Structure 1
Amino acid sequence: MKHILGIGNALVDMITSIPGDDVLHHLSLPKGSMTLVDAALAQNITKTTSKFSPKLTSGGSAANTIFGLAHLGLQVGYLGKTGKDELGEIYENDLKACGITTHISKSTTPTGRAVALISPDSERTFAVYLGAALELSPYDIMESILAQYAHVHIEGYQVQNHEVLLKILERAQACGCSISLDLASYNVVEENREFLQYILNNYVNIVFANEEEARALTGEEPIGALDKLSQICPMAIVKIGKNGSMIKTNEKVWKIDAIEANAIDSTGAGDMYASGFLYGLVHHYDIGTSGKIASLVAGKVTEIEGARLPGLVWDEIRQQIQWFIKNSVR
């Protein structure tokens, strides 16, 4: 049995550093948000930002987490939907090149893309055209696939299609999989608050949230939000940027420090945090050690543009993990 299956929106990332937030105002994009756009607006955004030399990579929140887990040595897979186009082929081949098992269904609709606009203060704003990713259906979520994995990790953007997400959760639970959910973006949380509370209470074993997402769901600041989340989900994790993160399960709280990092881009930091934490849990490391690994991987990815760490950095991360393990209790 493989370790972890990621399920999410299969999107090609267009990572763009912008000179100032006036670009966001011009495009009517709230800073720090994830805004869904149609094909016409996506084309306008692409045209407006093309002069800033965007970098193209395969992405999507769950895919980023799975890429991280693959680099850490786990047996992982990814389920999503792309178009029958060049970007779709590039996307799937990129996954396979990292040793990720692919469960990609195809559509005549173009492959989705996510424009990540990076402000000078490293904050990222996403404009997302879902394209083919939006067409992921219950027919694509086969129990024969889910049964190959011990754990299913789902990105919060899937919450916008309640029917599909419920099928994923029901079938994963029926197959005996444990389930984690990353809450994605605060505006998505605000629009789906009651539904999120329902699925956290009934299906999800681990919930990841940053402080904005946690506030949007609970109405509380980090400590209070952690308490409320832990009341409806067995393990709750609230990430608070430079102040680290907090983890609560079985009425016990762990405070995890952030690592010192020369942050230039926060894109993918939350996704990589999930990679590190899930890696620790798969290996049955204690919560504190798993949190340290999560903080390490998340911090390292903020030092580069985008969510793809180079090989030498992964070598450094693996060495640091071995040090954590030697100084922890299994």
Structure 2
Amino acid sequence: MKKVLGIGNALVDILVNVDDAMIAGCGLQKGGMSMIDAERKRALHAQLQDVPQVCATGGSTSNTIHALARLGMPAGYIGKVGNDEMGDFFRSEMERFGVTPHLILSDTDTGIATTYISADGERTFTTYLGAAAEMTANELDPDILSQYDLIHVEGYLIFNHDLILRVCQAAKAKGLLISMDMASYNLIEEHYDFVEMLLRDYVDIIFANEEEAKAFTHKEGVEALQELSKYCPVSIVKVGKEGSFIQIDGEITKVEPIKADCRDTTGAGDIYAAGFLYGYLNGLSAEETGKLASWLAARVIGYVGAKLPDEEWKQVPVKQ
């Protein structure tokens, strides 16, 4: 079976149920998202020390790699964590679910993404990137790539041009396929020329949602997909409730959406990518691959957080 390696921001996701008074007491705007520094992170977590917490590995590519491992595909992950309790947790959780961790250690704290869930279901976010943001091109060991067939690159790393370029050059030199998720339309707009170069020269499989595809191609829907196909042999544009479009070597497949109760869209795109990569690398048809990806995305939005519970994995419509 093919082996997949991921590289991205290694974060620990923390989910806490809180009341509005605690949100206000923490100085947060309900429903908002804040990037915080180490001092602010420590202060907030001191206020949460008596609140029950649910922890899981996080980061976009980490979520994709976790799901691939749950599907039974050999998988590894490159990221940077702190030499601390959260870093140990990240490593042990990866190993527990069958992922081989290739982690770089830092004296900086492990990155943490905290979700504050209010009684009415509204979510408030804080993100501390910590060690994850310190990963550099010089820390990458190209020999690791020799163990894999494809590397999935996190779009949130696009700001780090040296690192992304080093990864892509090493991957191509060793014959790996390269897949990438565009991650954010803001990043696409800010780094347009660099992203265009990556897609033109390195990326084989590109994932984008409507906004990201439009930011890059200035087109929508199938037209955006066709434009992306000029760069990458395999292109995927996710169109939310309308499903998704897949283009493989010039042939377009429309994947119909799967109806689902939506509680939280966190991780839907990440697990979609896992389903697609699993199907594509295992020789499933475009239709079968799209259905698997959509099935997983439809299931994960029924839960809070980016991970499916064990009982859902038992229902996955593929042989594992």
Q: TM-score, normalised by structure 2?
A: 0.88
- % identity of equivalent residues: 42
Give the whole-Å Cα distance in 1 for the aligned partners of 2:116 and 2:215. 22
Q: Which residue of 2 aligns with 1:9?
A: 9
State the Cα distance separating 1:28 from its structure 2 match. Answer: 6.7
Structure-2 change in CA distance of 1:232 and 1:122 (3 Å): farther
Give the whole-Å Cα distance in 2 for the aligned partners of 1:136 and 1:91. 16
Q: Deviations over 1:279-327 (max 9, x none)?
A: 001211111111111001111111111111111110101xx235xx9xx
Give the whole-Å Cα distance in 2 for the aligned partners of 1:120 and 1:232. 45
Give the whole-Å Cα distance in 1 for the aligned partners of 2:182 and 2:133. 18
Structure-2 change in CA distance of 1:177 and 1:166 (3 Å): same
| 1:6 partner letter | G
Q: Deviations over 1:24-62 (max 9, x none)?
A: 9x757996x7x6443345456657888986532111111
Structure-2 change in CA distance of 1:273 and 1:194 (3 Å): same
Give the whole-Å Cα distance in 2 for the aligned partners of 1:194 and 1:29. 36
State the Cα distance separating 1:126 from its structure 2 match. Answer: 5.3
Q: Deviations over 1:46-99 (max 9, x none)?
A: 578889865321111111111101111011111111000000000000000111
Decide whether the 8 Å contact of 1:124 with 1:265 is kept in 2: no
Decide whether the 8 Å contact of 2:2 with 2:282 is kept in 1: no
| 1:300 partner letter | R
| 1:10 partner letter | A
Q: Which residue of 1 aligns with 2:274?
A: 275
Task: Specify the SS of the correspondent of 2:266.
Answer: coil
Q: Which residue of 1 aligns with 2:298?
A: 299
Q: Which residue of 2 aligns with 1:262?
A: 261
Structure-2 change in CA distance of 1:310 and 1:165 (3 Å): same
State the Cα distance separating 1:149 from its structure 2 match. Answer: 0.1
State the Cα distance separating 1:207 from its structure 2 match. Answer: 0.6
| 1:296 partner letter | W
Q: Deviations over 1:85-120 (max 9, x none)?
A: 000000000000111111011000000112346699
Task: Specify the SS of the correspondent of 1:80.
Answer: strand
Comparing 285-294 and 40-49, the one that deviates more: 40-49
Decide whether the 8 Å contact of 2:79 with 2:132 is kept in 1: yes
State the Cα distance separating 1:187 from its structure 2 match. Answer: 2.2
Q: Which residue of 1 aligns with 2:81?
A: 82
Task: Specify the SS of the correspondent of 1:173.
Answer: helix
State the Cα distance separating 1:251 from its structure 2 match. Answer: 2.5
Unmatched segments (≥5 aa) in structure 1: 326-330
Task: Specify the SS of the correspondent of 2:315.
Answer: helix
Residue 248 (str. 1) matches residue 247 (str. 2): yes
State the Cα distance separating 1:129 from its structure 2 match. Answer: 1.7
State the Cα distance separating 1:205 from its structure 2 match. Answer: 0.3
Give the whole-Å Cα distance in 2 for the aligned partners of 1:187 and 1:123. 24
Task: Specify the SS of the correspondent of 1:164.
Answer: helix
Decide whether the 8 Å contact of 1:12 with 1:60 is kept in 2: yes
Decide whether the 8 Å contact of 2:262 with 2:302 is kept in 1: yes
State the Cα distance separating 1:230 from its structure 2 match. Answer: 1.5
Comparing 190-199 and 38-47, the one that deviates more: 38-47
Residue 234 (str. 1) matches residue 230 (str. 2): no
| 1:305 partner letter | V
State the Cα distance separating 1:121 from its structure 2 match. Answer: 10
Decide whether the 8 Å contact of 2:30 with 2:123 is kept in 1: no
Q: How many residues align?
A: 316
Decide whether the 8 Å contact of 2:152 with 2:179 is kept in 1: yes
State the Cα distance separating 1:186 from its structure 2 match. Answer: 2.4
| 1:5 partner letter | L
Q: Which residue of 2 aligns with 1:328?
A: none
C-alpha RMSD over aligned residues = 2.8
Decide whether the 8 Å contact of 1:121 with 1:264 is kept in 2: no
Task: Specify the SS of the correspondent of 2:104.
Answer: strand
| 1:235 partner letter | V
State the Cα distance separating 1:139 from its structure 2 match. Answer: 2.9
State the Cα distance separating 1:2 from its structure 2 match. Answer: 5.6
| 2:301 partner letter | T
Give the whole-Å Cα distance in 1 for the aligned partners of 2:9 and 2:104. 12
Decide whether the 8 Å contact of 1:64 with 1:307 is kept in 2: yes
The aligned runs of 1:137-156 (5 Å cut-off) are 137-156=136-155
Give the whole-Å Cα distance in 1 for the aligned partners of 2:55 and 2:112. 10
Decide whether the 8 Å contact of 1:173 with 1:203 is kept in 2: yes
Decide whether the 8 Å contact of 1:79 with 1:104 is kept in 2: yes
More helix by share: 1
Structure-2 change in CA distance of 1:89 and 1:233 (3 Å): same
Decide whether the 8 Å contact of 1:118 with 1:265 is kept in 2: no
State the Cα distance separating 1:262 from its structure 2 match. Answer: 1.1
| 2:132 partner letter | A
| 2:105 partner letter | K
State the Cα distance separating 1:17 from its structure 2 match. Answer: 6.5
Structure-2 change in CA distance of 1:297 and 1:178 (3 Å): same
Give the whole-Å Cα distance in 2 for the aligned partners of 1:306 and 1:286. 30
